[in-house]
């Protein structure tokens, strides 16, 4: 399939679910692929790219590395990776790598289930949660079994297929959430954890237009003092630092994966003053924006 079917954001491709769908799954906000078939048919996925959907990648065999937003993770059997819309990722895998890739949009999972909250799941966040989970497949084979049931059901044209797939997906997310919480140290209360996730989601949505910590405290109907306390206890950061980290992450994505000039990157991030953005970037990374690009890419000087 031609990668031009993907949506583009500048030079970095942003793929949508329809890019990978066939007649059997056309127009659904969900799909599941056998991973080895996916990377063989859609070879363009071997290059850095983004999605506009959530992706659960379950590796059953093989080894290698998976780089997500500039952090490289080991790939091995029974490893799971959770990708949030907008994250940049790429991989370097052995030829024997096998598994499944599950695509879905929030609307598919949440349909007619308003009591469900995507924020209940700790792994779908790009700032303060690891996107990698390593399971011991001998402990609980149900995860692999549920994924296979999702795949088999999705291949049918039976009545209620979407409802059955949605139910299995619910079971899978709950199971994986239990594993994740048992393996990742987290001493926060349930309410505090949810508030942190809500803040992360708000920053991810609004960081280009709202950069003051007080803006987010207002959105959450909390005092800035209380919100800062939640952040310090939860992730040992202030609200301001979380905002800046999200800005710097997006800066790196654009500098390394687009042909935008430094001025265009600055404007894209909501800064009309190019010099202010350059000072912020240098302060947080030790590089000027142009210096960072030159350090990691062989590109011409851009004004």
Q: What is the pTM of this model?
A: 0.78
User: Do residues 215 and 133 make contact, with C-beta atoms less than 8 angstroms apart?
Assistant: no
Query: 16-62 pLDDT, tens per residue?
Result: 888 888 766 666 789 999 999 999 999 998 889 999 899 999 999 99
DSSP SS3 for 265: helix
List the chain pLDDT tens, one digit each, 303 residues. Answer: 444 444 444 567 889 888 888 766 666 789 999 999 999 999 998 889 999 899 999 999 999 999 999 999 999 999 999 998 888 999 999 999 999 999 998 778 664 454 445 555 667 765 667 889 998 877 668 888 999 999 999 988 888 888 899 999 989 988 888 888 777 655 555 566 778 888 988 999 999 999 999 999 999 999 999 999 999 987 889 999 999 999 999 999 999 988 899 999 999 999 988 999 999 999 999 999 999 999 887 544 443
pLDDT in tens, 167-201: 999 899 888 888 887 776 555 555 667 788 889 88
Listed in sequence order, the residues at least 6 apart from 138 whose beta carbon sits closer than 8 Å to its beta carbon are: none
The pLDDT, as a whole number, for residue 82 is 93
List the one residue out of 47, 28, 27, 30 whose CA is nearest residue 39: 47
Q: Which domains does the chain have, with CATH numbers?
A: 3-183 (2.60.120.280), 190-296 (1.10.10.60)
Reduce the DSSP state of residue 274 to 3 states and report it: helix
Whether the CA torsion 139, 141, 147, 150 is positive or negative: it is: negative
Q: For position 1, what pLDDT does the model report?
A: 41
Q: 83: closest CA among 64, 95, 101?
A: 101
The predicted structure's pLDDT at residue 303 = 39
Q: How far is CA 208 from CA 26, 81, 205, 265, in A?
A: 33, 27, 8, 11
Rounded distance between C-alpha atoms, residue 301 and residue 294, angstroms = 8
Q: Are β-strands 7-9 and 12-15 bridged in parallel, bridged antiparallel, or unpaired? A: antiparallel
Phi and psi at 220, nearest 5°, equal -95, 5
Q: Which two tokens stand for residue 37?
A: 């078939």
**Helix count and strand count (H, E) for the chain:** 11, 11
């Amino acid at each position: 399939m031609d990668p031009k079917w993907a949506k583009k954001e500048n030079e970095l491709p942003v793929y949508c679910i329809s890019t990978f769908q066939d007649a059997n799954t056309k127009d659904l906000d969900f799909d599941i692929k056998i991973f080895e078939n996916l990377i063989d048919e859609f070879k363009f996925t071997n290059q850095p790219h983004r999605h506009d959907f959530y992706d659960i990648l379950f590796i059953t065999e093989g080894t290698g590395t998976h780089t997500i937003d500039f952090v490289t993770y080991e790939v091995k059997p029974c490893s799971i990776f959770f990708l949030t819309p907008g994250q940049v990722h790429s991989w370097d895998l052995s030829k024997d790598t096998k598994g499944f890739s599950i695509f879905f949009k929030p609307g598919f999972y949440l349909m007619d289930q308003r009591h469900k909250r995507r924020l209940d799941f700790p792994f779908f966040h790009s700032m303060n949660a690891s996107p990698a989970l390593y399971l011991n497949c001998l402990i609980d084979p149900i995860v692999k079994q549920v994924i296979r049931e999702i795949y088999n059901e999705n291949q049918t044209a039976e009545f209620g297929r979407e409802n059955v797939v949605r139910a299995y997906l619910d079971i899978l997310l709950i199971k994986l959430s239990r594993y994740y919480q048992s393996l990742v140290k987290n001493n926060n209360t349930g309410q505090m954890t949810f508030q942190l996730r809500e803040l992360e989601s708000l920053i991810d949505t609004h960081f280009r237009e709202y950069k003051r910590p007080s803006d987010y405290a207002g959105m959450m109907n909390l005092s800035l003092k209380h919100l800062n306390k939640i952040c310090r206890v939860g992730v040992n950061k202030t609200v301001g630092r979380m905002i800046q980290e999200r800005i710097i992450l997006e800066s790196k994505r654009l500098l390394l994966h687009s042909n935008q000039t430094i001025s265009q990157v600055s404007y894209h991030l909501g800064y009309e003053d190019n010099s202010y953005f350059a000072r912020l970037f240098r302060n947080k990374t030790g590089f000027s924006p142009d210096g960072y690009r030159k350090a990691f890419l062989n590109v011409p000087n851009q004004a």
